Structure 1
Amino acid sequence: MANYLIYILFAAGLIMILKGGDWFVDSAIWLGELTGASMGLIGATLISFATALPEFFVSTLASKDGFSEMAIGNAMGSIICNIAIVISICVIIRPIKIEDSKFDNKAFMMLIFMSLFYFFASDGLISKGEGFILILLTIPFMLLNFYNPNKSKKPRKKIDLQKIGVNLGVNIFKFLVGGFLIIYGADILVNTGVEIANLFRIPKKVISLTLLALGTSLPELTASLSATLKYKPDISVSNIIGANILNITLVIGVSAIVNPTGLIVMPSSINMDIPVALLFMIIFILPGIFHKKIGRLTGLLLSSSYLIYIISLF
C-alpha cells in the first residue's frame, strides 16, 4: 500500500468515527431530552456509551485480529487522554464546579474498577473469565445512575407530539448510519494504524497510546467541551467518568473475550501505562471530592504531566 494512501485512509477512518460519534451523541441527547432525564444521567449513560463506541470497536477489532497491545493501548490511552486532555482543556477554558451529588460515588467507582483491572493485568493476561467479570461491573455503575439520579430543578419541556414522528425518523437514521460509520471507521483505523507503526518501525502500543487514543477520544472532547461552554458541567464530568468506566469494563472486558487466548498485557503497560492512568484519575477526582471544583491549576498539572508521559514513550 502506497504511503500516501495509508495516511488518507487513516484520516478517512478518523473522520468516519468522528461523524458517527457526533450523530450518536445527537440521537442520545434527543432521547434524553424527550424522556426528561437529568443532564448528569444523560452524560454518564447515553453520551458516555455513544462517545465510548470508537474505543470499543477499535479495541475489540484489534484484539480479535490478535493485536492485544493495540487493544490495551487504545483503551488506556483513551482513559489518559480523556482526563489529561479533555478535562484539562475544559477546565482551563472554564473551571468546572461539581454539581452532581453522585460525583464522589462515580469517582470512587472509577478508581476501584481501575484498581481491579490492574490486579487482573498484573500476571500479564486478562483471561476470558476476568473479562466477563469486568463486563459485569457495568451493572452497578448503571444502577447507580438510574436508581440515584440527580433531580433536575428545571421543569420538563412540553413535548410537541406533532414533531416526534419526524424527529424519531431523523434520530433513527443518525443512530444506524452513525453506528455503521463508527464500526467501519474503526476497522480502517486499526488496519492503517498497524501500517503506520510498521512504516516508521514504531511499536504498535505507542501508536495505540497516541494516534489511535487521541483519535477515538475526540468524541469525548467534542461532547465535553460543548457542554462546558454551554454551562452544563454535569454532562462534561459525567461523560468522562462514564466513558472511562466503560473503557475499563466493556472495552477491556469484551476485548478479552473475543481474543482466543485472552488479552495479553505487555510489561510496559503493567509498569507504566496503567499506573499513569491511575495517577491521572487521582489528580482528577481529588479536587472534585474535597473542593467540589476542578480548576485551571489541576488542568495545567494534568496537561504538563501528559506531555512528560508522551515524551517518555519515545
Structure 2
Amino acid sequence: MAFLMVLAGFVLLFFSGNWLVKASVQIARHFKISTLVAGITVVAFGTSAPELIVSLNAVFDGVPDISVGNVIGSNIANIALVLGMVALIMPISVKKDSSVFFDWLIMLIASLLFLLFVQNHKLELYEGILFMVFISLYLFYSVYKSRQKMGRSGEIILAPDMKMISAIGLLSIAAIGLYFGSELLVKGVIEIAKGFNISERVIGISVVAFGTSVPELATSIIAALKKETAISIGNIIGSNIFNILAILGITSILKPIGVSQELISVDIWWMIGVAILLLLTLLPMKRSIITRWEGLIMICTYILYMIILFT
C-alpha cells in the first residue's frame, strides 16, 4: 500500500507540476509578460512547486529530515543526475554572454549561507526571512537584466493559447494535485522508511528528492532530444537557487526546521561539492562545453553518493 501511495504521489506531482507551469505561462502572457521574464519567475516557481509542497507537508508532519533532505537531494540530483543525463544525450554548450556563471555564483552563495545558518541544527524564522530577501533581490535583478536583453533582441511577446478562465481553472487543478500528491508521497515514504528501517534523512535525499526532480528530468531530457541543451543548465541552476532560498525560506518562516547532524556534516557538503564539479566542467569560461564524458562523471558521482547513502 505504501509503494502505491508513493507511486500515486509521484504521478500527481509530475502532472500537476507540468500543469502549473503551463497555466502560469498562459496567465503571464495575458498580462503581457515576456517569455524571458516568465521563465525566470513563473516557470522557476512552477518547477520547484513539488519540492515546496512536499517540504511544507514534511515539516508539519513532524519529519524535518525529509523536508531538508528533499531540498539537498533535489539539488544534487538536478546537477549530477539530470545535467549528467542531458550531457550524455547531447553535449551542453554554454554561450559566452549567458548568465550561467553569475547564477552559479548565486547558487554557491545560497548553499554556503544555508550551511552557515544550520550550524545550530535549526533554520529559524529570521533566517527564512533573510532567504526570502535574497531571492527577491535575485529575481528583481534577473528580471531587470532580462528586460534589458529583451529590449536589445526585440523579443515579441506571444499571445496566450488559452482563455484566462481556463488557465485559472488549470492552475487550481494543479494546486490541488500538488497538495494531494505531496500528501501521498510523504505518508508513503514514511511508511516505507519504517518498514525497511531506513532513516527519514536517507529516504528524503533519495526517493523523495528523485520524485520531486522528475519534472526537471523530463523537461531537460526532452530539451536535449530537441538539441536545446542550453535551456537545461539555466533552468537547473535557477531551480537549485529557488530550492534553497524560496522553499527553505518559506518553510522556515511558517515553522522553524530542525536539521540533523548528518545533513550538516555530510549531505550539504555533497551538495556544495557537486556544485563545484559543475563549475569545473564549465571551464574554460570562454568556451564552455559539458561533454559526454563529463556527463558520465556526473552520473557516476550521483550513483556513488547513493551507494554511500544506503551503506
What is the match of residue 101 of structure 1?
98
Residue 239 (structure 1) shift: 1.4
* Corresponding residue to 1:67 among 43, 63, 73: 63
* Corresponding residue to 2:75 among 79, 87, 91: 79
Counterparts in 2 of 1:167 and 1:308: CA distance versus 1, 3 Å: same
Superimposed CA distance per residue, residues 168-212 of structure 1 (whole angstroms, 9 cap, x where no aligned partner) = 333222211111101111111111111110011110111111110
Distance in 2, Cα, partners of 1:158 & 1:58: 33
Q: Is the 8 A contact 1:73 1:208 kept in 2?
A: yes
What is the match of residue 265 of structure 1?
259
Residue 102 (structure 1) shift: 1.5
Q: Is the 8 A contact 1:88 1:300 kept in 2?
A: yes
Q: Is the 8 A contact 2:86 2:229 kept in 1?
A: no
Greater shift in the superposed pair: 207-216 or 290-299: 290-299
Q: How does 1:9-48 map to 2 (within 5 A)?
A: 9-31=5-27, 35=32, 37-39=34-36, 41-48=37-44
What one-letter code is carried by the residue in structure 1 that aligns with 2:275?
A: M
Counterparts in 2 of 1:235 and 1:24: CA distance versus 1, 3 Å: farther
What is the match of residue 50 of structure 2?
54
Q: Secondary structure at the match of 1:304?
A: helix
Aligned length: 303
Matched, 1:134 2:162: no
Distance in 2, Cα, partners of 1:92 & 1:33: 34
What is the match of residue 227 of structure 1?
223
Residue 120 (structure 1) shift: 0.8
Greater shift in the superposed pair: 91-100 or 194-203: 91-100
Superimposed CA distance per residue, residues 116-175 of structure 1 (whole angstroms, 9 cap, x where no aligned partner) = 11111122221221122112211122022100014374752764xxxx584433322221
Residue 254 (structure 1) shift: 2.2
Residue 286 (structure 1) shift: 3.5
Q: Is the 8 A contact 2:107 2:240 kept in 1?
A: yes
Q: With the length of structure 2 as denominator, give the TM-score of the two structures.
A: 0.90
Residue 44 (structure 1) shift: 3.2
Unaligned runs of 5+ residues in structure 2 are: none
Q: Secondary structure at the match of 2:120?
A: coil
Residue 54 (structure 1) shift: 0.5
What is the match of residue 283 of structure 1?
277
Distance in 2, Cα, partners of 1:197 & 1:7: 11
Q: Is the 8 A contact 2:90 2:227 kept in 1?
A: no
Q: Is the 8 A contact 2:26 2:161 kept in 1?
A: no
* Corresponding residue to 2:142 among 112, 134, 145: 145
Distance in 2, Cα, partners of 1:232 & 1:193: 35
Distance in 1, Cα, partners of 2:138 & 2:220: 20
Q: Secondary structure at the match of 1:251?
A: helix
Q: Secondary structure at the match of 1:293?
A: strand
What one-letter code is carried by the residue in structure 2 that aligns with 1:143?
A: F
Q: Secondary structure at the match of 1:148?
A: helix
Distance in 2, Cα, partners of 1:309 & 1:236: 22
Q: Is the 8 A contact 2:121 2:261 kept in 1?
A: yes
Matched, 1:118 2:115: yes
Unaligned runs of 5+ residues in structure 1 are: none
Distance in 2, Cα, partners of 1:158 & 1:245: 27
Q: Percent identity?
A: 29
Counterparts in 2 of 1:266 and 1:241: CA distance versus 1, 3 Å: same
Q: Is the 8 A contact 2:92 2:289 kept in 1?
A: yes
Superimposed CA distance per residue, residues 62-116 of structure 1 (whole angstroms, 9 cap, x where no aligned partner) = 1122211111111101111111111111111111111362111111011111111
Residue 36 (structure 1) shift: 6.3
Q: Is the 8 A contact 1:44 1:235 kept in 2?
A: no
Q: Secondary structure at the match of 1:137?
A: helix
What is the match of residue 236 of structure 1?
232
Q: Secondary structure at the match of 2:62?
A: coil
Alpha-carbon RMSD across the aligned residues, in angstroms, is 2.1
Q: Secondary structure at the match of 1:122?
A: helix
Q: Secondary structure at the match of 1:97?
A: strand
Q: With the length of structure 1 as denominator, give the TM-score of the two structures.
A: 0.89
